[in-house]
Structures are given as C-alpha cells and as structure tokens.
Amino acid sequence: MDIESVIKQINQIGEDTKDKFAPFQVLKTFKSGRSEAGVFMVEYGSANRVGILKVTKSNEGKVFKNAYELASKNNMQKYIAKLLSSYKIQGKNKATLYVNLYDLAGDDIYNSETFLDKVLNEDELKDNIVSAITKFLFTWNKEHVKKNMSPMDIIKNELSYRYMDSKYIQAFESIGVDKSIKWISLDGTDILLPNPYYYFNNDNVWNNLKVICLTSYAHGDFQGDNIILTENKPVIIDFCDLLEDCNVFHDLRYLESITLGDCLEIDKESDRELWSKVCESSSGGITEIELPTGKGMSLLRRLINKLRENVKLIVCDSRNSLYDPSFHLAGTACGLINLRKYTSVNKKKAAFIYTAFNLKNFLKDEAVNMYDPKLNSCMVFNWKNQNLGNDLVVLEPTT
C-alpha cells in the first residue's frame, strides 16, 4: 500500500469539498492483521486531532454503520470507536480503496493497550472492564431472536465463508483427520471424542435434530487485539467481519478460545497434557468452570470465569439449560475457525482437540443425547506423543 498516494488523494478530496477532517498526516503505522488493510495513526484537521485511518479493499464503513446503528439503539455506542469520515479512492491498477477515519480509542497516543497486550503481559485486568466487555457482547446486538435450528445451520452461520472452503479441508488433512471417521481417541488416555469433521460434513448425521438457539448480529472477530482498554472502559474496534443471524454465544466463545490459545504453550509434552485438561474443563460447565492449575493458568482461571459471568444476561435462571447446546456449539464453531486459521500443525491439533471436547458436550446434552462412542470407526489421535502418526483402531475378533 502506497500510503503517501492515499494521503495525497484524500487531502485533495478534503480541499475540494472543504471537509473539516483534512488535511491528514501519518504519525505511525500499525501492524494490520489482514494482508490488504493498512492501519495508520494520523493527525487530522485544523485542530490537530489524532485518529486512526484504515485503508481497505472492502467497504468496511458500510458494515460499521450497520453495527453502530444497532449499538446506538441499545445505548452501547460509547463502547465503539466512532467512524468520523469515509473516502473512496483509486489505488494501484484502478482498484477501489476505502479509507475510513476512526476516533482514536485509548487514553493517549503512546499507550494504547489492548486486551491481548494485558493478557500476554499477565497484567491484572480490572473486573469492571472485563464485565463491561461481556455486558457489551450480550447487549449491543439486541433483540436476540429465538430460533429452532439444526446444528449444521448454526455451525454454518458461525463459520460463514470458511465452512468447507479449501483452507478448512486442508486444515483437517494437515492434522491427518479424515471425514469418514466418527470417533477420536486421545493417545495415552481413555478419552473418546467425536470427530467434528465427520459430524459437520453432512446433514444425515443429525436425523433432523433441532436445538434452540438465540441469534443476533455478532462482531465476528472478537479477539483480544480488537478490544482497546482505556482507564474506565473497553472500546471495541474492527467490525468488518460482522455476522448476521449468528449464535449469540459466538463472540464470547471466540474471545475465550483465542485467549486460551494465545496464552498457553503446547510445545512440551506436559504443556500438551495441560491443554487437553483445559479443553475438557472449559467445555464442560457453562458458568462455573474449574480450570486446572499449571503453567500460565493463574490469570486465565479467574479471567475465563469472569468472562462467562454475564451469560446470566441471556439466561438469568440458572436452572434453564435450554441454551446449553448452543453454547457448546459456539465453542465447537470457534474451535473450527481456529483450526483453520492457525498456521502451525501443533496449534491446529490443539484447536482440533478444543473443538472435539466442545462437540462432545453438545452430544452429551440431554436435548441431543447422541454421545455413543464406538470403536469400529475410531482413530488414535497423536497429541501427547507427536512423533507418531494417527492410527486407526483395528478391532480384532476375540477367539
């Protein structure tokens, strides 16, 4: 991206239209998560204010406006970095570029801290901030619409364009998991897990099963570096992956799964053992979970419980388990997204295990009742001992 030419063009537009936001001057370049986006801190206008200029090929401003309007109806707009001005220009090869100016979130230009920075530095996160994050999650997108849906449709809506695309298929190939195998046994344990690739490959598996799911807009990329922390509140940015008709638990489970993946190491055998324990406990209960103790766990043990506290905004009666299946499915979907996204095979395997534990708890729920592992379609998944390949379980007839 040639930022100088972008600035020249928008300064020209500013001059021609007597736009109060021009002129712009770049102060700092951010590392953008997306290959085609450029993100810059800029000084703008005659009052020398500071903001964030984001240059993208897709029309992010349009998506943002939908989200902002909805949040405003729910009086939650103060938690979103405001879009101040939008420009459409021509980049190289006459391709259209969208340039959006956002208000700078954060208390000053030098110390903008994100949720991810805090977690990686193992800094204590203030309870009121974490609580505001999840309150935002379950409030900005109201009303939530209650639907009876097939597990497949819930997963497809959460995965959106990723479902069964080539990157998704390659991800399973790279960890040696085939879609025809129903069950996975974790090496060295007696844990049997369903294979998500099998379960979300075709509708026939589910026998017309429907489960209750609350649906709403979801942020769609609710990870730690899209949550900027200020002294007294979180500010959410980067709404370009907005999802419609999505499982209401999607963003919470996404933040949670990505945070666990960012914080925990999986290189040593003991790390990998801890990871399967974390997957087991975080996919079991819904609001009260007891994560294991171990390396890097002290902050997470508090944080995950705190993040889940506001599930009560959705289901205030703790005896109501109608929404548990959709909570487990959200974990499953987020696991699949991470499995597809992570670049290292080890991380992909970790995400696969996370996914499978969540799916197991979905199958075990009384409303689903489909956890019925059989060894005649089962594979040993090499996780603890990574030097071996996966192996089919071959049943020998007893003589």
Interaction partner, residue 218 (ligand ADP, Mg ion, none; CB < 5-8 Å by kind) = none
Binding range to Mg ion, per CB under 5 A, among 152-160, 222-230, 359-367, 382-390: 222-230
For position 226 contacting Mg ion by CB under 5 A, the verdict is yes
Work out how close the CB of 370 gets to Mg ion at its nearest, in angstroms, rounded to a whole number. Answer: 37
Interaction partner, residue 104 (Mg ion, ligand ADP, none; CB < 5-8 Å by kind) = ligand ADP
For position 134 contacting Mg ion by CB under 5 A, the verdict is no
For position 34 contacting ligand ADP by CB under 6 A, the verdict is yes
User: For 347, phi and psi rounded to 5 degrees?
Assistant: -65, -40
For position 238 contacting Mg ion by CB under 5 A, the verdict is yes
**For residue 269, is the peptide bond before it cis, meaning its omega torsion is within 30 degrees of 0?**
no
Work out how close the CB of 56 gets to ligand ADP at its nearest, in angstroms, rounded to a whole number. Answer: 8
Work out how close the CB of 387 gets to Mg ion at its nearest, in angstroms, rounded to a whole number. Answer: 36
The closest of 244, 74, 72, 75 to 143, measured between CA atoms, is: 74
Q: Which helix (H) or strand (E) holds 239?
A: none
Options 112, 259, 282, 338; binder of ligand ADP; rule CB under 6 A: 112
Tokens linked to 353? 């295990």
Tokens linked to 282? 């975080």
Options 61, 91, 106, 220; binder of ligand ADP; rule CB under 6 A: 106
For position 60 contacting Mg ion by CB under 5 A, the verdict is no
Residue nearest to Mg ion (CB): 238
Classify the C-alpha dihedral 80-84-90-92 as positive or negative.
negative
Q: Hey, which residues between 213 and 242 contact ligand ADP (CB under 6 A)?
A: 225-226, 228, 237-238
Q: Which helix (H) or strand (E) holds 380?
A: strand 378-381
User: For 356, phi and psi rounded to 5 degrees?
Assistant: -65, -40
Instruction: Tell me whether residue 176 is exposed, middle or buried, using C-beta atoms within 10 angstroms of its C-beta: 0 to 12, 13 to 18, 19 or more.
Output: middle
Q: Hey, which residues between 23 and 52 contact Mg ion (CB under 5 A)?
A: 33
**How many other CB atoms are there within 10 angstroms of residue 68's CB atom?**
19
Determine the distance from the C-alpha atom of residue 100 to the mean position of all C-alpha atoms in its chain, rounded to a whole number: 23
Binding range to ligand ADP, per CB under 6 A, among 28-36, 69-77, 126-134, 268-276: 28-36
For position 77 contacting ligand ADP by CB under 6 A, the verdict is no
Find where tokens 């729910």 sit: 74
Tokens linked to 98? 């969208």
Q: Could you give the count of Cα atoms lying within 13 Å of 222 in the half-sphere of its Cβ? A: 27
Interaction partner, residue 81 (Mg ion, ligand ADP, none; CB < 5-8 Å by kind) = ligand ADP
Work out how close the CB of 30 gets to Mg ion at its nearest, in angstroms, rounded to a whole number. Answer: 9
- Using CB under 6 A as the criterion, which residues of the chain lie in contact with ligand ADP when the complex forms? 30, 32-34, 37, 39, 52, 54, 81, 102, 104-106, 112, 114, 225-226, 228, 237-238
